[in-house]
Amino acid sequence: MSAVCDGLGLPADGSRELTVTGGLPFFGGAGNNYSMHAIAETVQRLRAQPGAYGLVGANGGSLSKYSAGVYSTTPAEWRPDRSAALQAELDSRPGVEQAFQADGWATIETYTVKHGRGGKRTGIVVGRLEADGRRFIATSDDERTLGLLTTGEPIGRRVYVRSFGFGNRVAVDDALMDELFPPRPAVLRDDYEHVLVRRDGHVLEVTINRPDSRNSLHPPANDELDAVFDAYFADPGLWVAIITGADGKAFSAGNDLLYSASGKPMWVPKNGFAGLTSRRNMTKPVIAAVNGFAMGGGFEIALACHLVVADETARFALSEVKVGLVAAAGGLVRLPRALPGKLATEMILTGRRLTAAEALEHGLVNRVTEPGQALAGARELAREILESSPTSVRASLQIMAETQGIPDVVDAVTHPSPALDDLMVSEDVTEGLTAFAEKRPPRWRNR
């Protein structure tokens, strides 16, 4: 795009209106020299207005680059190129932090509206969060927000942004955002398409039910698992969760590569693969019952769980490098923290498979069962956890998570945690001490 300016570099009529547009939304694809269309139009206009100047700017590389050129009919002496020095100067200046997951009120900095086939329009907004000044990019396709972007001057206007696994979305206000994306209630549904759910007292059993694809996960399955675990962590009556795979042949083969290759939209929930690998505040135990293969994202799910029970047929691998990907759902971070560094690196770089026995030897799993008995072993482990105070279990997990990143041992030990305060005034403390004194089993209340 460009603007024809006077000799001072300002629009001749005092406005800031852009008079020439061109580029990716209007011409061709990669390699088609988008900005040349704007340059050609600017040259024609400048020839008709001797002494004027034109500015042409162009985006490139998925908003990662920007180029600009000033054009005029007035001859100028040749000056040596200073692009490298100018770029170094720009790079030395502090940048604006980007919010990859943007939530809250914000101000529009710039925008465009993309017109697709069949009349579909998509608004693209770059804005700043009011809370901390971070910059974000978000999209919208609802008519009220598109109306804001196509009427008058929206730059500087206040909008509301919310992040999802499929990206940031922007709306004119928070009420419209709730209307477009109603908050999902954190409760278990009666049925799911890709997941089986069984509630047994205080235990929730979650089965990935896609045996035809070795229980690999695609966006709809990930979304269901995310909703299930939202409900688990919100339900005070559920104390332990077990996740396993259907049919006994595979825990999960990870990402559904066939679905990915189909060209359909790919995304994962904000809480990560299976709603677990990026989830914070996992203050209730999740046990992985690994039957058969746990590959790629399937292994990353197991790594994200607090405890792992595997049968003798279980095999663990981060096989992403075999298909040109990386284990970005936690494998590259959690595996080197769970295994000796050299072994973890070998597995990551070669896709080497670890047997259940090897995983047990290195402390990657808690227990190994006979073939086909991983779920039974996980149920037994869950039963043992249920003998303990759920309030104590929850507080223990919370304090472990809070202190994991504190390098000094004494600082970690003396870290003040609200979980400990909550525990000391809970009914479970009184019940536990009373039951011990009366030599009877405690009756936990989780309060």
Task: Find the angle CA(56)-CA(61)-CA(62) to the nearest 5 degrees.
Answer: 100
Strands 121-129 and 135-140: antiparallel
Query: Which of 17, 320, 380, 384 is flagged as catalytic?
Result: 320
Residue that is written with structure tokens 């940031």 in the block: 168
Residue 255, C-beta contacts closer than 8 angstroms, at least 6 positions apart: 216, 217, 218, 273, 296, 297, 325
Active site residue 320: yes
DSSP string, 254-300: -B-HHHHHTT------TT-GGGTTT-----S-EEEEE-SEEETHHHH
* Spatial CA neighbour of 387 closest among 443, 306, 429, 325: 443
> Within 13 Å of residue 433, how many CA atoms lie on the same side as its CB?
7
The tokens for 303 are 């790594």
SS (H, E, C) 242-254: EEEECCCCEEECC
The tokens for 30 are 């990669």
Residue 318, C-beta contacts closer than 8 angstroms, at least 6 positions apart: 295, 296, 299, 300, 327, 331, 332, 335, 347, 348, 351
Provide the CA 48 distance to its chain's centre, in angstroms: 52
Provide the CA 82 distance to its chain's centre, in angstroms: 40
DSSP state of 323: G
Query: Which of 89, 300, 380, 384 is flagged as catalytic?
Result: 300
CB 310 within 8 A of CB 354: no
CB 9 within 8 A of CB 54: no
The C-alpha atoms of residue 112 and residue 124 are separated, in whole angstroms, by: 5
112-117 long-range contacts (CB < 8 A, ≥24 apart) are: 112/25, 113/146, 113/149, 113/150, 114/25, 115/25
CB 252 within 8 A of CB 216: yes
* Spatial CA neighbour of 236 closest among 418, 390, 419: 390
CB-CB neighbours of 40 under 10 Å = 12
Catalytic residue ranges: 300, 320
